[in-house]
Homo-oligomer: A and B are copies of this chain.
């Protein structure tokens, strides 16, 4: 039954559509629907296989990815290792929908990390894990810590550091599908006017890197902006930075749509 075609898959009883009796909110629906038109297309990725065939998936980033995981656990696929965020939701769906696929899903996000922090631990926490799909969400601390006076990296530092890290990654893991998750903030909580326009410049830097290197991009900012049409921004991220349960679930759906897993 493995390898059943798209139509058979669509008719499966595990299909979430079949259990959804209520209506979907326009804003949330629009938030995810927009992704197809805005995400960087995948043809430029170097992997010959599609991400759908990948077994080893690694989520990298800061606290949004970390999401309360138990960092003492280095395992794959279990809820304590994966945390309470979008990596766990993606993993839960994949592991329950395709139990015999052989997924090994890692989370190595660490709260507070910026690009230079990823650089320091990249060999052990990325390259050695040999991910077939590598997802990275990094950037909000690069500006937040600067606003707090704890860091002095510029937009240019962010773009160059991130780009160099990805060049190094592509050299070491030429077959890996790399997924750039766009940094995002919502206008509430800790996020005020001081964040702008620099935050948008950093977002644009991440998008530009994805575009120039032919990497997949998950446009989380646009998704959240649209999702805020019907509910306050704090519904999706109380402090404007860290998603709520609902926000993480929306991210997971968007991630899967863009990556095509």
Contact present for A101 and B22 (CB under 8 Å): yes
- Please choose the segment from A57-65, A80-88, A123-131 that sits at the chain B interface, where 4 or more of its residues have CB less than 8 A away: A80-88
Within 8 A of B (CB), among A4-23: 4-6, 8-10, 12-23
Question: A92-B89, A92-B245 are contacts. A97–B21 as well, Cβ < 8 Å?
Answer: no
Interchain CA distance A167-B227 in the complex, whole Å: 42
Residues of chain A at interface, number, CB under 8 A? 74
Contact present for A99 and B261 (CB under 8 Å): no
Chain B residue, CB-CB nearest to A30: B13
Interchain CA distance A120-B89 in the complex, whole Å: 34
Total copies of this chain within the assembly? 2
- Please choose the segment from A111-119, A139-147, A249-257 that sits at the chain B interface, where 4 or more of its residues have CB less than 8 A away: A249-257
Contact present for B96 and A246 (CB under 8 Å): yes
A191 part of interface (Cβ distance < 8 Å): no
Interchain CA distance A230-B33 in the complex, whole Å: 34
The residue from B10, B27, B250 contacting A17, defined by CB atoms under 8 A apart: B10
On chain B, the residues within 8 Å of A134 by CB distance are none
Question: A16-B15, A19-B256 are contacts. A25–B245 as well, Cβ < 8 Å?
Answer: no
25 contacts between A and B (CB under 8 A): A1-B23, A2-B26, A3-B23, A8-B23, A9-B22, A13-B33, A14-B24, A16-B17, A16-B253, A24-B97, A25-B97, A25-B99, A25-B101, A28-B98, A28-B99, A68-B79, A77-B244, A78-B245, A82-B245, A89-B92, A92-B249, A95-B244, A99-B230, A99-B231, A99-B246
